[in-house]
Structure 1
Amino acid sequence: MKLLQALFFPPEQPGGVSSMIPYLQDRFNPPHWEMELFSLPKRIRNKGTDFVEFDTFDWHEYEQSPIVQKYIQTYRDYLWWTKLRLQRPFDLIHAHHPIAGLVMKQVFPNTPVMMSVHSSYERELILNGGIEENGLEHRFLTSIYKELEHRCDRMFTSSRSFMEYLSPYVNHPEAISVIPNGFDEKRFKPVPHENEVTQLVTVCRLVPAKGLDILLKACAELKAQGHAYVLHIIGDGPIRRDLEELAQSLGIYEETIFYGYTLHPEEFMPFFDVFVLPSRAEAFGSVFAEAALCCLALVGTDIGGIAEQIEDGVNGLLVPPEDPLALSTALEKLIMDPAFRYELARSGSDQAKNHYSLNRVVYLLKKVYLQYK
């Protein structure tokens, strides 16, 4: 069976779906399976010139928005690159970005196209201050979901909560299935260690949606209560300077280490003690599963895919979003009680292995793929 995994970002892009898809090739072996990965190189800009039209809505109603114009041009570029590079037929195409799904069905109308929607671009833009809720861009981007439903043969999400998020924007939400992201356990190797001072770590893109301002305020409260810790922030993004200035103003800059972008954080993540990320929204939250496989205790917000991965007090701790004091209290519990911290980490690791192992996800995908053989 000839499969195409259609990504938007190149496979080496860190985080999210790129944490899973490149590792699938090792599990779909010839002669029964033949898998190819496809994505749009970053250098491809303003190449496409094709006319763009959708069946379920008129995008020209929103064309005065620069964000919509950029989205449409990216669609044209992806279409141009697809026509240029993909010639041979496939038995099945699995797309992992809305533009990829729509373009693949346009280029290969007779090939079954499965669509996995992994995250909400419009929700991220709203939380990061890029667009207004119910504005032109928001309405355009949510209209894309119904177009995906219309064109693609099957739709998936990575969590139940994100499936519920999509429901108002499609005609048949009951037809959407859930297949979580999967992770190759070989990449995550817990390391026995004893840190004299509790080491907190977070890994994410530095944008408002991740709630790192809340984390810094919680850490300031920890320091005010006399608790020793070190906070490691791995990642980069547009608000890094703002976060550094906030850490300084809160008096916790000495306890906080900003690493910037790191390609393989899983290589040294096992040496920390607690993974914490107070996101304001997460469709799935792949980094929580990765941290759990590294045997770190988890602390996250009670929203979206995070709440599906963490059972509060069993395999991690959940706190309300936008609540630095609650987050500080949760972190304090783990700093003061290493035995409890270890128990949560062990339980979290077991849960991640059982539910988010790559082998399990490959099994689920093969069952679906074979329906189209």
Structure 2
Amino acid sequence: MAGRAAEYTEWRIRKTLLMSPSEVALVSRIRVLWLIKGLGPGGAEQLLVSSARVADHDRFDYRAAYVRPDKDQLVPRLTACGVPATLLGGGRQGRLWWPWRLRRLMREVDIVHAHSPLLAGVARLAARTIPVRERPVTVSTEHNVWGNFSLPTRLLNATTAGLDRRRWAVSLEVRRSMWRRRQQGSAVLVHGIVQGDDHPPAGTRGRVRRELGIPQDAVVAITVANLRREKDYPNLLHAAQIALLEEPSLVVLAVGQGPLEDEVRELHESLGLGDRVMLMGYRTDVADLLAASDLFVLASAHEGLPVSIMEAMTAGLPVVATAVGGVPEAVVTGKTGILLPPHDPEALARALVTVARDRPLRDEMAEAGRERSTVFDIRSAVEVQQRAYAELVRS
């Protein structure tokens, strides 16, 4: 590694002697590749966009790569933040040859930061096939508990994780879920959202409710979760059926898309939920929908540390959620929300009704949530990562 660093430094000195000051600045930037499975509207993907917004682009040359051609909704937002995104897995041949495309791209950067366990394993092995003087350093972030991964992915990730120079987990629970040997050397790094963003203008609440046909005096519970197995929509829909019978003023908004859409819609219809539970699909106006709501609900079976909960608390919504993954690290039960065991729709329904009927409780939890949400600042995590990038390149 020392030999590679010396050669790299000598190369940069030779280059800079022939360059203008602006060209020198570009060459001296540390080149970082963010590697992720897709760039759809998921939590880890949103974190990359937030990171791109606050990153130091003068010192670091960021780029991203992904393999899911059907998950590209956030590519324009990432590009607008100065981070170009490369699709590795497009087309039938791309599904087979993306590891070779990744290897070629890895030879052009100094750091590869993986945000997907499968891609992390492939990147670590690919790095070992690159000559030492061209080999990038690999680091990774674990965004979900290991029990949520398929067995092959878990094995690949676990057996290759020791090749990373840095590993981060987004919550204590994610770190605890790792193999005991891999917990060592894995640091908990709480991510977050961009603090200080402008809130929706006055009147947003009424406007959104009118557009959706929701009465102004209704109590609106919102969930933002993709239609995937770990989000446990059956738990939410069964709880909603019970809660709606007890509290006529309650309306539920469900924002998200995913592979279980047909299954979720079929269950929604069979339970007779109608317009009281609105399946809204993918939305770009989540901030406005949060402003139109009174509480946030999350019925997941597995989680890392949900970005949606951070956004809800920042928006001043009390949280009713299952106590899974890093959720208990974010929500203080009885103060900023109510936590419940997973797979218990009756308990979830009771909590929804309790919060829906108690306006003073909602106001109290909302204020406490706003105060607590300030700890979820993406700038802190990005600064830690950028210091690590610089140290690893220098070493």
Residue in structure 2 matching 1:212, options 216, 230, 233: 233
State the alpha-carbon separation in 2 of the partners of residues 28 and 341 from structure 1.
35
2:264 counterpart residue number:
243
Question: How is 1:328-343 mapped onto 2 (pairs within 5 angstroms)?
Answer: 328-343=349-364
State the alpha-carbon separation in 2 of the partners of residues 319 and 268 from structure 1.
24
Point out the more displaced range, 77-86 or 295-304. 77-86
2:179 counterpart residue number:
167
2:213 counterpart residue number:
none
Matched AA of 1:318: L
Q: What are the Cα deviations for residues 259-307 of structure 1, in whole angstroms up to 9, with x where unaligned?
A: 1222342343221111101101112222111222222111110111112
1:134 counterpart residue number:
none
Residue in structure 2 matching 1:33, options 46, 53, 60: 60
- Structure 1 pair 319/30, CA: closer, same or farther in 2 (3 Å)? closer
Residue in structure 2 matching 1:257, options 274, 278, 281: 278
Question: Are 2:48 and 1:21 aligned?
Answer: yes
The structural deviation recorded for 1:180 is 2.1
Matched AA of 2:52: Q
Q: Is the 8 A contact 1:94 1:114 kept in 2?
A: yes
Question: How is 1:163-312 mapped onto 2 (pairs within 5 angstroms)?
Answer: 163-168=175-180, 171-187=181-197, 189=199, 193=205, 195-312=216-333
The structural deviation recorded for 1:196 is 0.8
Give 4+ residue runs of structure 1 displaced > 4 Å after superposition.
84-87, 190-195
1:158 counterpart residue number:
170
Matched AA of 1:152: D
Instruction: Name the % identity.
Output: 20
Residue in structure 2 matching 1:148, options 156, 160, 166: 160
Higher Rg:
2
Question: Are 2:33 and 1:5 aligned?
Answer: yes
- Structure 1 pair 209/103, CA: closer, same or farther in 2 (3 Å)? closer
Q: Is the 8 A contact 2:162 2:182 kept in 1?
A: no
For normalisation by structure 2, the TM-score amounts to: 0.75
1:313 counterpart residue number:
334
The structural deviation recorded for 1:313 is 0.8
Question: Are 2:369 and 1:348 aligned?
Answer: yes
Q: Which runs of 5+ in 2 are unaligned?
A: 1-28, 70-88, 207-215
Question: How is 1:71-150 mapped onto 2 (pairs within 5 angstroms)?
Answer: 77-85=97-105, 87-90=107-110, 92-105=111-124, 106-107=126-127, 110-120=135-145, 123=148, 138=151, 140-150=152-162
Matched AA of 2:248: H
Matched AA of 1:8: I
Cα root mean square deviation, aligned: 2.6
Q: Is the 8 A contact 2:257 2:282 kept in 1?
A: yes
Q: Is the 8 A contact 2:167 2:186 kept in 1?
A: yes
Question: Are 2:348 and 1:322 aligned?
Answer: no
For normalisation by structure 1, the TM-score amounts to: 0.79
Point out the more displaced range, 205-214 or 13-22. 205-214
Q: Which runs of 5+ in 1 are unaligned?
A: 49-73, 125-136
Q: Is the 8 A contact 2:246 2:353 kept in 1?
A: no
State the alpha-carbon separation in 2 of the partners of residues 41 and 237 from structure 1.
13
Q: Is the 8 A contact 1:189 1:293 kept in 2?
A: no
Q: Matched residue of 2:93: which SS? A: coil
State the alpha-carbon separation in 2 of the partners of residues 229 and 181 from structure 1.
32
Matched AA of 2:234: D
The structural deviation recorded for 1:310 is 0.9
Q: Is the 8 A contact 1:209 1:280 kept in 2?
A: yes
State the alpha-carbon separation in 1 of the partners of residues 193 and 238 from structure 2.
32
Q: Is the 8 A contact 1:284 1:306 kept in 2?
A: yes
